């Protein structure tokens, strides 16, 4: 599997958030994460901070954001932490997992109809652009 930096999509990143546990690439209408090897990704230690920063950047609770998890490394997610995500009134327009195998069955219980699995990053980005096209007004507001 390819890392984002190995693709032409990397040229369209508008902001990069780098943490010891992973990198988050913000685009006009979606986010791509690449979590580091062997991390156990939890709400308290990782996600809450990331969600707050991403929400502040996009100026919404995530309801207009598509999140793509590019699983180039093996790591664990605590699926029940999705309850904390929703408890704080966060949302997502869509959630994609890019992996060679479908290993996100528990996560799908929390995201149901908004979640899709893809074998290639290009396919997930095409889907994100399809369900959340860039609106010129939104792009102009963020750059102001």
124, 118 Cβ separation under 8 angstroms: yes
Examine the pLDDT at 98 and tell me if it is beyond 60.
Answer: yes
24, 32 Cβ separation under 8 angstroms: yes
pLDDT given for residue 137 in this prediction = 47
The answer to the question of residue 114 being in a domain is yes
The answer to the question of residue 54 being in a domain is yes
Q: Where does the pLDDT of residue 85 fall: very low under 50, low under 70, confident under 90, or very high at 90 and above?
A: confident
pLDDT given for residue 135 in this prediction = 59
Q: Work out the average pLDDT over 119-138.
A: 84
In 3-state terms, what secondary structure has residue 24? strand
The answer to the question of residue 46 being in a domain is yes
pLDDT given for residue 106 in this prediction = 47
Q: How much of the chain, in percent, has pLDDT values that exceed 90?
A: 58
The answer to the question of residue 119 being in a domain is yes
The answer to the question of residue 71 being in a domain is yes
Q: Where does the pLDDT of residue 109 fall: very low under 50, low under 70, confident under 90, or very high at 90 and above?
A: very low
- Taking all residues of the chain, what is their mean pLDDT, rounded to a whole number? 85
The answer to the question of residue 1 being in a domain is no
Buried b (16+ CB within 10 A) or exposed e, 19-52: eebbbbbbbbbbbbbbbeeebebbbeebbbebbe
Query: Which domain CATH number covers 20?
Result: 3.30.750
Q: How far apart are CA 93 and CA 100, in angstroms?
A: 23
Q: How far apart are CA 44 and CA 85, in angstroms?
A: 10
How much is the pTM? Answer: 0.85
Q: pLDDT tens for residues 8-55?
A: 999 999 999 999 999 999 999 999 999 999 999 999 999 999 999 999
> Domains in the chain: how many in total?
1
What does DSSP say about strands 66-70 and 30-35: parallel, antiparallel, or unpaired?
parallel
Q: Where does the pLDDT of residue 89 fall: very low under 50, low under 70, confident under 90, or very high at 90 and above?
A: confident
52, 39 Cβ separation under 8 angstroms: no
Q: Where does the pLDDT of residue 102 fall: very low under 50, low under 70, confident under 90, or very high at 90 and above?
A: low
The answer to the question of residue 4 being in a domain is no
pLDDT given for residue 78 in this prediction = 84
Domain coverage including residue 29: 13-138
């Amino acid at each position: 599997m390819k890392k984002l930096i190995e693709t032409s999509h990397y040229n369209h990143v508008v902001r990069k958030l780098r943490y010891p546990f992973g990198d988050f690439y913000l685009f006009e209408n979606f986010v791509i994460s690449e979590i580091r090897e062997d991390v156990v990704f939890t709400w308290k230690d990782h996600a809450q901070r990331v969600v707050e920063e991403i929400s502040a950047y996009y100026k919404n609770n995530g309801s207009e954001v598509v999140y793509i998890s590019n699983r180039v490394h093996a790591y664990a997610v605590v699926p029940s932490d999705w309850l904390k995500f929703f408890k704080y009134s966060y949302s997502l327009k869509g959630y994609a997992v890019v992996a060679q195998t479908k290993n996100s069955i528990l996560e799908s219980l929390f995201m149901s109809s908004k979640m899709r699995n893809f074998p290639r990053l290009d396919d997930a980005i095409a889907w994100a652009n399809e369900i959340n096209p860039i609106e010129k007004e939104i792009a102009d507001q963020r750059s102001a």
